[in-house]
Chains A and B, each alone.
Chain A
């Protein structure tokens, strides 16, 4: 959950244009294999939209469902942190 949220934050930080895999990889501190696996999961869950052609040209942006998910996650994160619970 935390990893997915970190990836989505990395994507969101790039604004409307979206983020490439390398940017997400560094910001979420992931290995390439795990990045691919989690990106597939995000796309499958319709939280992230994949666009562009080719390996280097792929760009990921948040869907409306993804933005809503991230907003909800931030609320849950703040609530949990208030009680000293890490999520």
Chain B
């Protein structure tokens, strides 16, 4: 795992916050669709994206708290919590989608934090996400819907972001891939809205 500089961490936090916001939008739209159709799977999907979004914001807040109060314990807790929340979210997806450098001490602190992920939780997330990606691929293959293609691309990029996260020097790439994944979902939402 790579060590991140404070500026890189700031960049990662921005990407994470944007991804979390898009996840929140998808959750909102899923909930709106649930209220309209009363299809329970849409409620599960909405909860999944809400939990995912909460996990992302949790990690952003955890890192910011650590930067301000220099408390590594909080960072560790937020990373583990985010990992569990992601797994919860992905399980819900499986169920619902079946078919600036500040000061030297801080820099030293972050150099001691080699990663913002928990390796074991990432592996569990990957296994679950593989199922989600396969389901979305099967759905796209059967419906040939361009919206289904965006969802497949989104989940695939999300899976690739987890692979990148467990690789050496891959954390920044994983954040970019994660953002691209949510942008794919955002494009899908935008196009559906214009239907």
| Chain A residues with a Cβ under 8 A of chain B | 1, 71-76, 78-87
Residues of B within 8 A of A82 (CB): 139, 145, 147-148, 150-151, 188, 192
Q: Indicate whether B195 reaches chain A with its CB closer than 8 angstroms.
A: yes
Contact B136 A75 (CB under 8 A): no
Q: How far is the CA of A86 from the CA of B142 in the complex (A)?
A: 13
Pairs across A and B, CB under 8 Å, 28 listed: A1-B37, A73-B36, A75-B195, A76-B33, A78-B145, A78-B195, A80-B37, A80-B39, A80-B41, A80-B42, A81-B139, A81-B145, A81-B147, A82-B147, A82-B148, A82-B150, A82-B192, A83-B96, A83-B97, A83-B136, A83-B148, A83-B151, A84-B98, A84-B136, A84-B138, A84-B148, A85-B97, A87-B37
Residues of A within 8 A of B42 (CB): 80, 85, 87
Q: How far is the CA of A26 from the CA of B78 in the complex (A)?
A: 57
| Chain B residues with a Cβ under 8 A of chain A | 29-30, 32-33, 36-39, 41-42, 45, 96-99, 135-136, 138-139, 143, 145, 147-148, 150-151, 188-189, 192-193, 195
Residues of A within 8 A of B38 (CB): 1
Beta-carbon nearest neighbor of A77 in chain B:
B37
Q: In angstroms, how far is the closest chain B Cβ from the Cβ of A3?
A: 12
Q: How far is the CA of A81 from the CA of B151 in the complex (A)?
A: 10
Which has the most chain A C-beta neighbours within 10 Å: B36, B97, B98, B135? B36
Residues of A within 8 A of B145 (CB): 78, 81-82
Q: How far is the CA of A73 from the CA of B33 in the complex (A)?
A: 9
Contact B39 A83 (CB under 8 A): no
Residues of A within 8 A of B41 (CB): 80, 85
Q: In angstroms, how far is the closest chain B Cβ from the Cβ of A83?
A: 5
Q: How far is the CA of A86 from the CA of B145 in the complex (A)?
A: 13
Q: How far is the CA of A1 from the CA of B37 in the complex (A)?
A: 6
Beta-carbon nearest neighbor of A72 in chain B:
B36
Q: How far is the CA of A35 from the CA of B182 in the complex (A)?
A: 42
Residues of A within 8 A of B188 (CB): 79, 82
A-B pairs with lowest CB-CB distance, top 9: A84-B139, A82-B147, A84-B99, A87-B37, A76-B33, A82-B151, A85-B41, A87-B39, A82-B148
Q: How far is the CA of A78 from the CA of B135 in the complex (A)?
A: 17
Q: A1-B38, A78-B147 are in contact. Are A83 and B193 (CB under 8 A)?
A: no
Which has the most chain B C-beta neighbours within 10 Å: A79, A81, A83, A87? A83
Q: How far is the CA of A71 from the CA of B151 in the complex (A)?
A: 22
Contact A79 B192 (CB under 8 A): yes
